[in-house]
Structure 1
């Protein structure tokens, strides 16, 4: 019996909850992973998993073995990474989750540069703001806007995105221009942004000098996707506060104009998150480092454009 392989198989079954998903994530037949776990149990002379027709449950011995196996496998992976050539040229599949807007407008246009640097990494990008089961879906990491609330995840800040407030000429023709953020609670409308985590429309925060206010805007429509949010604003459905890179093209086409520019919004922080049980491999680390530089270049471009506008 290859005990390390059997340990990896057992760990995946525990993490994914059944043999079918574990086999799919490891890309091996279900019968193979079943035989490996059975051989491991025979070797240890104990039962690690209780199987029923509907679910797999970890025994007391199985839970103890899982914790130690995770530590051992993490140490082995770290040792291999520190010695092998993959430290210089990382390779393999990298599964990343991020919003569709950031993928389409920022990451995908720059991927040729990433490929030139790391040609042996194969990126699988999942698009959306949905809640992710990192273990069951075998997701390595996710790019998320806003400060993460899930304490079970490790988070690394990779940058910040400047935010501004916009309205379309269609909206301005119908409703005029709000002169104060509080107008969005009374005489004006905003496009609502519905967060997957909270399940409610987000409030808007504005600052001016020492004054900070939180606005709970009126809305006609709310959406849960950043691109749809901007499109709704372009269509005249309400005022939007969004990242400058999101509004850049619509602004250039005259489909949006910046408003309430004497009031500022806190920049939107960006984080890479991954589960605590998953070691940050070298391929994840190089992707994060590349992403940090990409966000920095995005901010530099925006700052230059703002200076040109002021000038």
Structure 2
């Protein structure tokens, strides 16, 4: 048999082309990593923008501000009313007072911030428990949502300055055995008053986020309310709950500082703001130190809650879908 008439050997099977990796899950992770890398730069840029706007108004604004009748619409640009940003930053590294051996101002602000942070943390935890319980009750019983949700919204219209003395007066009358109501407890309750609202609203929205198909599937499996809550509604509420927790942390700091001012609790940033306000004429950069401390404290509290939320990243399916 000739070579031309011989049956040709089968050609070797070609390897299938490599399958492109799925980008459905890689794209959100890459976007989240890029956002995490750019977040510090965005924070620094925002601080620089605020400082630049401050200095630009001080340079170009009217020296006496703008008055319309008896109402001042724009502040004065004098050094007493608006010290330079570099003067306020330099003042942080100077002694608190003129006495010899006085600690630097930043250390006093740091100690006061630690005291306020501890009280705010207790208020945040209390607000978290109250907000979650309210959200669960409103999701479980529709009539509770109709009755309680408007009250939850209306509760935030009460000014803290008017509420703080009442809470302190009520708390001073409480006594359970050897345990007496301490003044810082009133501040923690007021902080929780601001913290529970975003938790209740955010978690309620998250608990109601599962579609009808998912709820019907759980009913088809014979799952009751409790298994449905643990396996469906709580995981679905995480993307809504985490931003609410960060907002609640910032609100708790605001509530703690305002309550310290209203109740006169010593040792915190609120009391320091009141005390340093007396130096606005002689040392105009000094009263800004506790204000900066309160801002940094709110950012730190929100950042700590964001770090805690990294353990729940696998439940953030709705954020990844965006």
- How would you bin the TM-score normalised by the shorter chain? under 0.3
Structure number with higher helix proportion? 2
Determine which structure has more spread, i.e. the larger CA radius of gyration: 2
Q: Counting strand residues as a fraction of each chain, which structure ranks higher?
A: 1
Q: TM-score, normalised by structure 2?
A: 0.25
Task: Give the alignment's TM-score, normalised by structure 1.
Answer: 0.26
